[in-house]
Amino acid sequence: MEINLVDPFWIAVIGTSVLAFTLKYLGHSVPKRWLSHPRILKINSLIPIALLSALVGVQAFTNGSRLVADQRMAGVGVAMVALIFRAPFPIVVLSAAATSATLFHIG
C-alpha cells in the first residue's frame, strides 16, 4: 500500500492532529486567574454532565442515523427510576443492564 501525503484524507488527519495539539498546548497556557472565576468553575463542573448525557442519549435512542425505541430505552428508564430512589451506582447500572438484556433476549 502506497501512502500519498497529498491525499485529502492525510491532509485532514495531519491538520486535525496539529489543531488538537495546538488547542491542548494553549489550554495549558491559560492564566490561572481566568480559570478561578466562579462562572468558569460552574461551567467546567457542568460540561462532563452534558457530554455524558449526550452520549447516553445517542447510544440509547439511535441506530445509525435513525431514532429507535428498543430494549435500551427500557434500560435507561429503569436506571432513571433507580436514580430517583437513590439506589447505589452499581445497582443502577446492573438493573439497567439486566432489563435491557432480558428484553433483548425475549424479543
Q: What would the pLDDT profile of 43-100 be if each residue is shown by its tens digit?
A: 999 999 999 999 988 988 998 889 888 999 999 999 999 999 999 999 999 999 999 9
pTM above 0.85, yes or no: no
CA angle 57, 59, 62 (to 5 degrees): 85
List Cβ neighbours of 10 (8 Å cut-off, separation of 6 or more).
3, 4
10 Å Cβ neighbour count for 51?
A: 10
Where do the structural domains in the chain lie, given as residue ranges?
36-106
